């Protein structure tokens, strides 16, 4: 139970300027942190900056700066201090002792938002697993502000029970959640097997780039849309008809964000497998965001971590209706030759995007049917490695007849084995 009577908390955000950063960069990071705080239910009252060569092991920002923050906390009746960088359990404990206020870091804030927005059982399990894995090495700091009966942001989900104060019990709970996710993953693999004869396209992008809105525009669907970071966590799949003779399965996935922890990607594996198994990706970019280039880089780094960066990808610059300077479209069109410029909310150039998807399917993929010797294990292994077998028939003369969907660039690797 929260000890607060007000609906929203009052917060301070803290950014540290290290030698490789500029104040302008840290300002952009804190802009995003404020959006995260707003999504979680906090109003940011002020920002605190600190220049450091490296983090202070005990207080991250140093004891002197912590004491300055403590004074502001008392004067402004602040409920929570949010750091843009990850803190250790020791740092959280020491900061709370000096500041006398709840202290959380960026990842805890993101996990709190995930806990609030998880709607389905798989999403709730994934969030709880991510929370426990992140909290396990930080039990000292986290559990101290539970003992003070703090409520509000940063304490939603499994952290509210005393059960996890025992590390052994936390590890046991993590193992149970991993098993549950493995079962969900196997169920989803079975479901995806039934979709093999249809091309699968996944929407990826920075959080709040407009992926869910684009899903609705392409599929005439009604997926949940809200102008908030991480409004949706669950993968949503819809059938989209590109033409009278061609349809695809289009999946909306959880948004990516700067400093997305590795363990969080691992926890959401069963959801992000939709990205891994997609034939084509549509990378949705908010063209109106001042730092959209950095957002593109973050998404590409996350895709690389998922081993999906080399997939056929369409770059879709969204929210062109929000641009003040239209010349940006022309310069980006020269820079990204195959990009599409759209407004998902207004339906601008959606037909062009559909044509682009259809063209990419024709340019990159081919379906072939051929025979291979049952005894040729090397050939069969290569076919399954580079292509997707849609159908298998066992002939009486020791041959397999395979229907294969494969990228054209991989076709030479298997063509000599089939006839």
79-128 tens-digit pLDDT: 999 999 989 888 998 999 999 999 999 988 888 888 877 777 777 887 78
Model's pTM, two decimal places? Answer: 0.76
CA distance 235 to 116: 17
Q: Which residue has the higher pLDDT, 13 or 190?
A: 13
CA distance 88 to 252: 34
pLDDT value for 83: 96
pLDDT value for 318: 96
pLDDT value for 4: 37
User: Do 139 and 216 fall within a single domain?
Assistant: no
Residue 224 has pLDDT above 60, yes or no: no
pLDDT value for 270: 61
pLDDT, mean of residues 348-355 = 94
pLDDT value for 1: 29
Q: Which residue has the higher pLDDT, 151 or 32?
A: 32
Residue 136 inside a domain? The answer is yes
CA distance 143 to 159: 8
CB 317 within 8 A of CB 339: yes
User: Do 126 and 16 fall within a single domain?
Assistant: yes
* Residue 298 CB contacts under 8 Å (≥ 6 apart), including other chains: 206, 256, 257, 258, 260
| Tally of structural domains, the chain | 3
User: Do 210 and 347 fall within a single domain?
Assistant: yes
With both helix axes pointing from N to C terminus, report the angle between 211-219 and 350-364 in degrees, rounded to the nearest 10.
90
**pLDDT tens digits along 364-392:** 888 888 888 888 888 888 888 878 788 88
Its domain, for residue 318, covers 194-363
pLDDT value for 73: 94
CB 125 within 8 A of CB 177: yes
CB 37 within 8 A of CB 82: yes
pLDDT value for 49: 93
pLDDT value for 145: 43
pLDDT value for 147: 44
- 162 to 90, 132, 145, 158, 209: CA distances (angstroms): 20, 13, 12, 9, 38
User: Do 60 and 138 fall within a single domain?
Assistant: yes
Residue 238 has pLDDT above 80, yes or no: yes
Residue 281 has pLDDT above 90, yes or no: yes
Of 22-36, 113-127, 165-179, 183-197, minimum mean pLDDT range:
183-197
User: Do 122 and 220 fall within a single domain?
Assistant: no
Which of the listed residues 163, 183, 210 is the one where a domain comes to its end? 163
pLDDT, mean of residues 203-227 = 80
Residue 181 inside a domain? The answer is no
Of 76-85, 138-147, 318-327, minimum mean pLDDT range:
138-147
93: which 2 tokens? 């404990």
CA distance 262 to 62: 27
pLDDT value for 199: 84
Residue 159 has pLDDT above 80, yes or no: no
pLDDT value for 43: 93
pLDDT value for 89: 85
pLDDT value for 296: 94
Q: What is the CATH number of the domain that holds 54?
A: 3.40.50.11060
Could you report how far apart the first and last alpha carbons of the chain are, in Å?
A: 68
User: Do 144 and 285 fall within a single domain?
Assistant: no
pLDDT value for 314: 96
**pLDDT tens digits along 32-68:** 899 889 988 899 999 999 999 999 999 999 999 999 9
pLDDT value for 192: 53
User: Do 94 and 205 fall within a single domain?
Assistant: no
Q: What is the mean pLDDT of the chain?
A: 82
Residue 259 inside a domain? The answer is yes
Q: What is the CATH number of the domain that holds 388?
A: 3.30.70.240
pLDDT value for 78: 93
């Amino acid at each position: 139970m929260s000890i607060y009577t007000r609906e929203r908390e009052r917060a301070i955000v803290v950014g540290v300027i290290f030698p490789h950063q500029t104040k302008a960069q840290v300002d952009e990071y804190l802009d995003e942190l404020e959006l995260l705080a707003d999504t979680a239910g906090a109003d940011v009252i002020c920002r605190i900056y600190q220049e450091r060569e490296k983090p202070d092991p005990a207080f991250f920002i140093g004891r002197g700066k912590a004491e300055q923050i403590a004074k502001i906390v008392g004067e402004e009746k602040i409920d929570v201090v949010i750091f843009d960088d990850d803190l250790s359990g020791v740092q959280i404990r020491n900061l709370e002792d000096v500041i006398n206020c709840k202290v959380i870091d960026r990842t805890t804030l993101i996990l709190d938002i995930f806990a609030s927005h998880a709607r389905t059982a798989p999403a709730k399990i994934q969030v709880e697993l991510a929370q426990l894995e992140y909290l396990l090495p930080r039990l000292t700091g986290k559990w101290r502000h539970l003992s003070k009966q703090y409520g509000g942001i940063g304490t939603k989900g499994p952290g509210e029970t005393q059960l996890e104060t025992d590390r052994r019990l936390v590890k046991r709970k993590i193992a149970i959640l991993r098993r549950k996710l493995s079962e969900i993953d196997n169920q989803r693999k079975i479901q995806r097997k039934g979709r093999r004869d249809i091309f699968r396209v996944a929407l990826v992008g920075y959080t709040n780039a407009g992926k869910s809105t684009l899903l609705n525009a392409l599929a005439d669907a009604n997926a949940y849309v809200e102008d908030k970071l991480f409004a949706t966590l669950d993968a949503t799949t819809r059938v989209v008809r590109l033409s009278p003779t061609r349809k695809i399965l289009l999946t909306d996935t959880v948004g990516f964000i700067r400093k997305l922890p590795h363990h969080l990607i691992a926890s959401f594996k069963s959801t992000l497998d939709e990205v891994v198994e997609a034939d084509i990706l549509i990378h949705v970019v908010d063209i109106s965001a001042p730092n959209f280039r950095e957002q593109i880089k973050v998404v590409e780094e996350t895709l690389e971590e998922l081993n999906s960066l080399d997939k056929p990808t369409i770059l879709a610059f969204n929210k062109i209706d929000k641009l003040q300077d239209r010349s940006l479209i022309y310069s980006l069109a020269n820079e990204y030759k195959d990009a599409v410029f759209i407004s998902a909310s207004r339906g601008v150039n959606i037909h062009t995007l559909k044509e682009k998807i259809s063209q990419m399917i024709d340019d990159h993929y081919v379906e072939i049917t051929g025979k291979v010797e049952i005894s040729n294990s090397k050939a069969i292994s290569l076919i399954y490695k580079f292509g997707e077998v849609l159908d298998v028939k066992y002939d009486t003369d020791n041959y397999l007849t395979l229907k294969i969907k494969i990228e054209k660039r991989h076709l030479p690797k298997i063509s000599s084995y089939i006839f």
